[in-house]
Amino acid sequence: MTTKKKAKRPAATPLDGIFHYAERGGSFSGELVAGITMAVLSVCGMFMNMQLVATLFVTPYTESSSQQIAANGEVYALVWLMSMLVAFVGTLVMGLVARRPFVQVTSLSLSCVLVSTVSLNSGLTYYNMLAIVFVANVLYLVVCALPQLRSLVLAALPRPVRLALPAAAGLLMAWIAAQLSGLFSTKGVIPDYGTAANLGTGSVQTSAMTHITGFSFLTDIYHPQMLLSAIAVVLAVAVYLVARRRQTDPCGKALVWGTVFFLVATVLACGVNWKNFNVALSFLWARLWMIGSEDAMQAHVSAAFASLSIGKVFTQGFDFSGFTGNGGNLASVLASGVLSYVLMFVYDADASISAVCAETGEGLLDEKAEAMPLLVNAGTNVVAALVGASPVAIGKESVAGAKDGARSGLSAVVASVVLLVSAFVWVIPTIFATVTSYGISFNMYGHYGATLQLLSQCSFSVADAVMMCVGLSMAARACTIDVSDVAEAAPFVVTVAATVLLTNIAAGAAAGTVAYALVNLQASRSRKGQPKSRLVERVGGIQTLVWAIVSCVVLLAIAL
Please tell me the predicted confidence (pLDDT) of residue 274.
Answer: 55
Report the distance separating Cα 431 and Cα 235, nearest Å. 17
Please tell me the predicted confidence (pLDDT) of residue 529.
Answer: 47
Contact 437, 197 (CB under 8 A): yes
Q: How far is CA 201 from CA 72, 351, 453, in A?
A: 10, 34, 9
Q: DSSP states of 22-85 as a string?
A: GGGT--HHHHHHHHHHHHHHHHHHHHHHHHHHHTTTPPPGGG--HHHHHHHHHHHHHHHHHHHH
Q: Please state the domain count of the chain.
A: 2
Q: Are residues 402 and 514 both part of a single domain?
A: no
Q: What is the mean pLDDT of the chain?
A: 79
Whether 290 maps to a domain, the answer reads yes
Whether 275 maps to a domain, the answer reads no
- Pick the range with the lowest mean pLDDT from 180-194, 454-468, 469-483: 180-194
Q: Are residues 453 and 485 both part of a single domain?
A: no
Each residue's pLDDT tens digit, 88-98: 999 999 999 99
Please tell me the predicted confidence (pLDDT) of residue 203.
Answer: 34
Q: Are residues 306 and 414 both part of a single domain?
A: yes
pLDDT tops 60 at residue 492? yes
Q: Are residues 400 and 363 both part of a single domain?
A: yes
Whether 312 maps to a domain, the answer reads yes
Q: Are residues 492 and 447 both part of a single domain?
A: no
Q: Are residues 460 and 488 both part of a single domain?
A: no
Q: Are residues 462 and 485 both part of a single domain?
A: no
Contact 451, 291 (CB under 8 A): no
Domain boundary among 433, 466, 499: 466
Each residue's pLDDT tens digit, 239-271: 999 999 988 899 999 999 999 998 888 888 777
Whether 450 maps to a domain, the answer reads yes
Whether 320 maps to a domain, the answer reads yes
Each residue's pLDDT tens digit, 26-60: 899 999 999 999 999 999 999 888 888 887 787 66
pLDDT tops 90 at residue 61? no
Please tell me the predicted confidence (pLDDT) of residue 184.
Answer: 60
**Where does the pLDDT of residue 366 fall: very low under 50, low under 70, confident under 90, or very high at 90 and above?**
low
Domain boundary among 415, 440, 466: 466
pLDDT tops 80 at residue 219? no
Q: Are residues 446 and 311 both part of a single domain?
A: yes
Q: Are residues 411 and 558 both part of a single domain?
A: no
Please tell me the predicted confidence (pLDDT) of residue 195.
Answer: 35
pLDDT tops 50 at residue 224? yes
Q: Are residues 445 and 529 both part of a single domain?
A: no
Q: DSSP states of 508-541 as a string?
A: HHHHHHHHHHHHHHHHHHH-TTSPPPPHHHHHT-
Q: Which one is predicted more confidently, 330 or 414?
A: 414
- CA 113-474-196 angle, to 5 degrees, is 45
Percent of the chain with pLDDT over 90: 30
Domain boundary among 405, 438, 466: 466
Q: Are residues 499 and 421 both part of a single domain?
A: no
Each residue's pLDDT tens digit, 178-217: 877 766 654 433 333 333 333 333 333 333 333 344 444 4
Please tell me the predicted confidence (pLDDT) of residue 550.
Answer: 81
Contact 121, 324 (CB under 8 A): no
Report the distance separating Cα 406 and Cα 422, nearest Å. 21
Whether 39 maps to a domain, the answer reads yes
Whether 443 maps to a domain, the answer reads yes
Q: Which of 93, 84, 99, 6 is nearest to 44 (CA)?
A: 84
Whether 171 maps to a domain, the answer reads no
The domain of 527 spans: 481-560
Q: Are residues 438 and 534 both part of a single domain?
A: no
- What burial class does residue 232 get, using C-beta atoms within 10 Å of its C-beta: 0-12 exposed, 13-18 middle, 19+ buried? buried
Contact 422, 460 (CB under 8 A): no
